[in-house]
Amino acid sequence: MLQNPELHYLDNAATTIVAPEVADVIDKAMREHWANPSSLYAPGARSEEALNAARAAVARTLGCKSKELYFTSCGSEGNNLALLGAAQTRTFGKGIVVSGFEHPSVQRPLERLAAQGYHVTVVAPQPDGTLDMGRMLEAVDKNTILVACMMVNNEIGTRNDVERLAAEVKRRNSRIIVHVDAVQAWMRVPIKLDNIDTLAVSGHKIHAPKGVGALYLSDRLVQAFQPPYLGGEQERGLRPGTENLPYAMGLAAAATRLAGSIRSRDKAMRALNDRLRAGRPVLGVCVGEQIMFERGMEHGDGTPGLGLIKGDVELLDADVVPHMGWDTVEAPEGSVLLKGVENERFYFVHSFAAMSASPADTSADQLDFGDAEEHVTWCTYGRSRFVAAYERGPLFATQFHPEKSAEAGAQLLRNWVATF
Which residues are marked as active site?
Answer: 286, 401, 403
Q: Report yes or no: 143 and 175 within 8 Å, Cβ to Cβ.
A: no
Q: Report yes or no: 420 and 280 within 8 Å, Cβ to Cβ.
A: yes
Alpha-carbon torsion angle 98, 103, 105, 106, nearest 10: -10
Residue from 188, 395, 6, 417 nearest 387 by CA: 395
Antiparallel, parallel or unpaired: β 345-350 and 282-285: unpaired
